[in-house]
Amino acid sequence: MESRKTVCLDFDGVLAYYTKWKGMEHIGEPNSEGVKLARMLYDAGIQIVIQTCRLNGQWPEQDYDKQRHMLVKWLEENNVPFHMLATQKSGKPFANCYVDDLGVHFPPNCNDCADAIYSQVLEMLYR
């Protein structure tokens, strides 16, 4: 029996527009393409995990709970389907695929790719 496929979507930059950190209370407007992607995946029967660094363990417990509630409310109000909200407290979630606006692809078992990936990393860091 084949297990259900899982996709991990980053919150800021994929589902919500992100234009630099403006505080815990600020959540960007929905990114229509990210929301559309989440709905397409959900409708295809794929399990969706939402990953966020907003809940990174730097906040007191009451602020963590408040922020988590705000994120779930935002997802529900914007009709973003999901099965789990993953945080740094819970560790890196298992997924068959990760979608992140700040990611650089590292091909598995690549040979002779470090120079190209180094250039991509520098481009992302200093854009």
Confidence class of residue 60 from pLDDT cuts 50, 70 and 90? low
The confidence band for 59, taking pLDDT boundaries of 50, 70 and 90, is low
Closest CA relative to residue 31, chosen from 10, 48, 49 = 10
Q: What is the CATH number of the domain that holds 29?
A: 3.40.50.1000
Residue 43 lies in a domain: yes
Q: Is residue 119 part of a domain?
A: no
The predicted structure's pLDDT at residue 58: 63
- What integer pLDDT is reported at residue 67 of this predicted model? 83
Query: Would residue 126 count as lying in a domain?
Result: no
Over residues 107-121, the pLDDT tens digits come to: 888 888 899 989 988
Please report whether residue 112 resides in a domain. no
pLDDT at site 61: 62
Domain membership of residue 87 as a residue range: 6-102
pTM of the model: 0.84
For the chain, percent of residues with pLDDT exceeding 70: 91
> Is the model's pLDDT at 37 over the cut of 60?
yes
pLDDT-above-90 percentage for the chain: 48
Q: Is the pLDDT confidence value at 57 over 90?
A: no
29, 13 in Cβ contact below 8 A?
A: no
Q: Is position 32 within any domain?
A: yes
In a domain, 63, yes or no: yes
Domain count, the chain: 1
Q: Are 85 and 9 in contact (CB under 8 A)?
A: no
Give pLDDT, residue 90.
67
Who wins on pLDDT, 44 or 63?
44
